[in-house]
Amino acid sequence: LAPYSGCAMAEYFMFNKGHSLIVYDDLTKQANAYREMSLLLRRPPGREAYPGDVFYLHSRLLERASKLNDELGAGSMTALPVIETQGGDVSAYIPTNVISITDGQIFLESDLFNSGQKPAINVGLSVSRVGGSAQIKAMKKVAGTLKLDLAQYRELAAFSQFSSDLDAETKASLDRGVRMMELLKQGVYSPVSVEKQICVIYAGSKGYLDKLEVDKIKKFENDLYNSLEDEKTILESISIEKVLSETSEKKLISLIEKILEMYK
């Protein structure tokens, strides 16, 4: 009952012209409790012993999240359901049910977390149905192939553990992948503006950091952020125009090369 009570509270703000965010942590335990209760009531079990209406259990909850039109006050409620997977299996009953209802999912992996990659997002299994429609043009341009590149890097990294004889192209892909993963690490309570994200992803994806030692990547990132604060025209241009103009790109390249000179 707790998720429904929380949802009713969030709806109160939505219907009173406010904006609310409700996090269900987690719906797997709710489904398990519902299963146990249904079995005690001798209701016929289905897949994984869940009752037949377990999909409706979650759909009627998550579909209450919405954005009201102006006539109804323009309020909104955003739902963020959390699901626990067993051994990373997203094809289990409850994960597939919730995935089919939501607008996408972020898959967090314990192996990545234990290796120091935070946030520990598996880019291969994480999906957004909104996709690039929510991104500005500058981000689309610099990060267009980032997800594919990172997924390819993980495959190559797994393959390289069983083979010591790697060609130059594979080694280059692995080296860049390591640096991109390092760039994407983020500290707790350390939000980064979209404009700064674009600049740092540009530096990594264009190969400017391929020769830089991995342990210096975070220092480079901090130096770049500080330099961008001094050279505000680049960030302002991206913020206003929503694109990385030719002039801003030249300034950014000059800034990156200037910082890299300090490490030689």
Which CATH architecture is the domain 135-264 placed in? Up-down Bundle (1.20)
- Dihedral Cα 26, 29, 34, 37, nearest 10 deg: -150
Nearest-angstrom CA–CA distance, 130 and 50 = 31
**pTM exceeds cut of 0.85:** no
Measured CA to CA in angstroms, residue 60 lies from 4, 50, 65, 126 at distances of 10, 17, 10, 24
CA distance 30 to 32: 5
Three-class DSSP category at 161: coil
CATH code 1.20.150.20 region(s) in the chain = 135-264
> What are the residue numbers of the active site?
129
Minimal CA–CA distance to 82: which of 23, 137, 5? 23
Give the gyration radius of the chain's Cα atoms. 23
User: For each of the chain's 264 residues, which pLDDT tens digit applies?
Assistant: 889 999 999 999 999 999 999 999 989 999 999 999 999 999 999 999 999 899 999 999 999 999 999 999 999 999 999 999 988 888 899 999 999 999 889 999 988 899 888 999 988 889 888 877 888 999 999 988 888 888 888 888 888 877 777 788 888 889 999 999 999 999 888 899 999 999 999 999 999 999 899 999 999 999 999 999 998 899 999 999 999 999 999 999 999 999 999 887
Q: In this predicted structure, what is the pLDDT of residue 233?
A: 93
| DSSP 8-state secondary structure symbol assigned to residue 71 | G
Query: What is the pLDDT, as a whole number, of residue 248?
Result: 93
**Alpha carbons 246 and 231: distance in angstroms, whole number:** 16
